Homo-oligomer: A and B are copies of this chain.
Amino acid sequence: MSLDLGVEIGEAIGLVAGTLTTIAFLPQVFRVWQRRSARDISLPTFILLCSGVALWLLSGVLKESISLILANGVTFFLAMGILVGKLRFDRR
């Protein structure tokens, strides 16, 4: 009963957490594309992040988890936007 309540509150907090970590990448996409500058952005970071988020998405599809699919679907496009910006604007 106590663990059940913990799990329910934990799920609710997880929804807020997932929303925050998903929309977090939006201002980074805007910053890179508006300033057309990405020297300080790490290429390996966004290659690893895009790969990991794509696997999270696949995991969500296999587990038929709508929350995993939605959160990682959105994050994948945002992280790809930063990765493409890095490749395009990473000049000295």
Contact = CB atoms under 8 A, between A and B. Distances in A.
Contact of A45 (B27, B43, B65): B27
Contacts of A14: 55-56, 59, 63
A21 interface: yes
Contacts of A11: 59, 63
Q: How many identical chains are in the complex?
A: 2
Interface in A22-64: 22-28, 30-32, 35, 37-46, 48-49, 51-53, 55-56, 58-64
Interface of A: 3, 6-7, 9-11, 13-14, 16-28, 30-32, 35, 37-46, 48-49, 51-53, 55-56, 58-65
22 contacts: A7-B62, A10-B61, A13-B59, A16-B52, A17-B55, A17-B58, A20-B52, A20-B55, A24-B46, A24-B52, A26-B45, A27-B42, A27-B45, A27-B48, A28-B41, A28-B42, A28-B45, A31-B42, A32-B40, A35-B40, A37-B39, A39-B39
